[in-house]
Amino acid sequence: MDPYDPLIDLLAEDLDASFEALVQGHEDRIYTIALRMLGDPRDAEEAAQDTFVRAYRALGAFDRERISELRLRPWLATIALNVCRSRLTGRKARPRASLSLDVELPGGLEPRAPEARGPAAIQASRDAAADWAALLMTIPSTYRSPIVLRHVDGLSYPELALALDRPEGTVKAQVHRGLGLLRAAFESKHRRDHEEMTA
């Protein structure tokens, strides 16, 4: 169970006075979720804004009891994913080479920069992160969503199940399968790069 969030009481008491605190507390993570799902910074910014507009409208329609039962992190993640799905409908997401995952995925999926933080090491780290972010965009959203929420946003598996409205066992399997697809995409890219260098 999540630790108690005092913001819940503030939202239930006075939505208009406390909503800015909700935005400030969650805007970075909501933007990051949108960026990983959409692959475009401008789209992600608009999706994050839309997420908070929808959250405000929903909270305005909820009674105090319903607000007090909310688990904010997974609830906001659900809204963000729904906004991103709407934006992805009718368009094909393209990888963006300028993105960075900004987290280390399990099993060393995102290479760490050498300890020496000179310009070459920093650039190598950025390039590796951009490669992983581009590969993440190639994963179907069925698997990308759980990976992003688990390994970028840091939701627990119970929170992930709540956010995606799926059984915990299902989301664990989807994270595992998604990471397998990500590893396979990495290995395929590595082979292609190696073949190009040796050709």
Per-residue pLDDT of 119-176, as tens digits, reads 776 666 677 777 778 888 889 989 999 999 998 899 999 999 999 999 999 999 999 9
CATH number of the domain encompassing residue 9:
1.10.1740.10
Q: Are 33 and 131 in contact (CB under 8 A)?
A: no
Q: Which domain holds residue 189?
A: 97-136+138-199
Within its chain, how far is the Cα of 162 from the centroid?
15
Per-residue pLDDT tens over the stretch 13-45:
999 999 999 999 999 999 999 999 998 899 999
Tell whether 80 and 153 lie within a shared domain: no
Tell whether 61 and 121 lie within a shared domain: no
Tell whether 19 and 7 lie within a shared domain: yes
Quote the Cα angle for 77-82-84, to 5°. 95
Tell whether 43 and 124 lie within a shared domain: no
Tell whether 82 and 9 lie within a shared domain: yes
The answer to whether the predicted template modeling score (pTM) of the entire model surpasses 0.95 is: no
